[in-house]
Structure 1
């Protein structure tokens, strides 16, 4: 582990400690048993989930941007997040047990991705990045519309569904943390072992194929591998947008690097970013809590505009 990654790990540990001891409830004003319960059962799983969600989103974004040759590709811009949230919402208003929410979210999220890829290819044979993103945003809007209809039909469940729409880490528990951790770890191992393949895909399909990469097989396999962890995370937390775009792009803007170091750096910075944002969201106007998804949007949009501006300048040269 290099020096920068070691520092990021230490910052993550310090961030978890600070998050556990920070909140709307002052630990000094309650007895030790209550304080211990709040720290261990409420704040610790929330902090760990923040790190995992940020890491999964950033990891997925880094892979999608390479495979699809699109710096603005992630689970949100490709409609997957909306599909995953719709799947989770269906478990709230139907007889489907909530325990199956991750499975339904994975299925609808992957179907959304497949639909975006197919529609974009049919609309534009050149498969330009802007066509892919526009298609993803439009499909995401369509899925959001379906979600609003569900809210109208089932008004009594509006509060639960709204949590998915705005993205919240409240209610995270160690069971959810364990599932997301396992899937993220498996995905990371697979993607890290295919680091050379992903570097070759940067060169283009023809050159990658000439160098021994079975592009038609490896591309969908790696897309699914990268998509599953954030889809499951989203099924628990709701939509947390743009983190998957800005983290890898900021890293590459500061220092271009191969895929493997980019993957590790993205996970660490993504986890730290969401941890900080979530802690701020639940403390700056305590006892009111700003949903994590809202906090991420407020902080990410300026960065997103900055990246677009820099990209336009580079293309104009």
Structure 2
């Protein structure tokens, strides 16, 4: 009895030490990513057709907070406060949201190929957003709400198509997502070319990922996406057990149906919100969670918050590159992420086939 008690105590001690190490690693990882994100944010605000010194950027930010401006060039204050800073904030919240959504889908499906774009959820949200743009005033439907509904409908269609006689297969779900993505993309192109009229150029610009508009939606989008990311992070322990297997998770007390429903709906919500304010941006939710798992392991208590910060930094870097590489012209951020993400997708697909 005494030996059994000592063995149990030793097991508890090992578990406590592992928790402690995980928290320490989480703290170090988050702190490092926050520093990287802060540096990239300052660089993104400074770089452009009009270069602005870091000191002046700090002065403008202080003046925006305190309302006191001293020694600041008015044109620089306008550039920072009305153009670059909102763009940086948009890239951060969209990149974080798409990455967390991707991490959630990958954990649920136990498949590194799962991504809001590949599963067709982003393009499904785009269908809803475009319909709201064209007919929203008549139907009294806002674009963010329509994008969320489009994302939910799409994930439902993918789930139904992915079911077989022996249940749901993750590979079937991925294939169903690819098919649904193609179908929704066709609907988007049809709606834009047939109905957009004079708004066609701006609509196509939005479709390829656009960080230069809808700044007025940033506060509401931030609250919505932050709440969604917190909900998914709250499911991290359950997702860890689900990655072992649904039967094992059930045996360990996880309410599998509830966790899957919560993560699916929440990930679709933040994906729809991202599409509503920035358009369709692919592969962020594929690349970032996979890279985080390679670097730090598969514990979702680390993967989810680290993916949020790494995704924010990645999209911010992609947007900065897109607006500076061929300045004064601009490459849409969705093009940059596709150039990076497509080879990664092919690599993961080939490795999974092997």
TM-score of the alignment, normalized to the shorter chain, above 0.5: yes
Q: Which residue of 2 aligns with 1:171?
A: 213
Cα distance in 1, alignment partners of residues 280 and 29 from structure 2: 29
Looking at structure 1, the residues matched to 136 and 266 of structure 2 have their Cα atoms a distance apart, in angstroms, of 29
SS at match of 1:171: coil
Give ranges in structure 1 of 5+ residues lacking alignment: none
Q: CA deviation at 1:85?
A: 0.9
Partner of 2:105: 64
Match of 1:8 in 2: 33
Aligned residue in 2 for 1:267: 308
Asked if residue 91 in structure 1 is aligned to residue 126 in structure 2, the reply is no
Mapping of 1:1-317 within 5 angstroms? 2-26=27-51, 32-96=73-137, 100-122=142-164, 125-154=166-195, 155-173=197-215, 175-312=216-353, 316=354
TM-score in terms of structure 1 length: 0.91
> In the aligned structure 2, how far is the partner of 1:311 from the partner of 1:152?
37
Comparing 281-290 with 70-79, greater Cα deviation is found at 70-79
Q: Within 1, Cα distance between the matches of 2:310 and 2:117? A: 19
Q: Is the 8 A contact 2:148 2:272 kept in 1?
A: yes
Say whether the 8 Å CA contact 1:92–1:160 is kept in structure 2: no
Moved more, 142-151 or 46-55: 142-151
Give the conservation status (yes or no) of the 8 Å contact 1:45–1:172: no
Matches of 1:220 and 1:147, distance apart in 2: 27
What is the CA distance between 1:256 and its match in structure 2? 1.6
Q: State the Cα deviation string for residues 156-212 of structure 1 (Å, max 9, x = none).
A: 221232023211111241x32212221222122222222211111112111111111
Q: How many residues align?
A: 309
Name which one, 1 or 2, has greater alpha-carbon Rg.
2
- For 2:92 and 2:27, how far apart are their aligned partners in 1? 20
Contact 1:249 1:307 in 2 (8 A): no
Task: Compare 297-306 and 55-64 and name the one that shifted more.
Answer: 297-306
Cα distance, 1:149 vs. partner?
Answer: 1.6
TM-score normalized with structure 2 length = 0.82
CA shift, 1:83, in A, is: 1.1
1:282–1:172 Cα change, 3 Å: farther
8 Å CA contact 1:109–1:231 kept in 2: the answer is yes
Cα contact 2:225–2:273 (8 A) shared by 1:
no
Greater shift in the superposed pair: 18-27 or 303-312: 303-312
CA distance in 1, matches of 2:253, 2:294: 30
CA contact (8 A) 1:85 1:164 kept: no
Shift of 1:99: 7.8
Offset, 1:126: 4.7
Partner Cα separation in structure 2 for residue 105 and residue 60 of structure 1 = 15
8 Å contact from structure 1 (residues 80, 113) kept in 2: yes
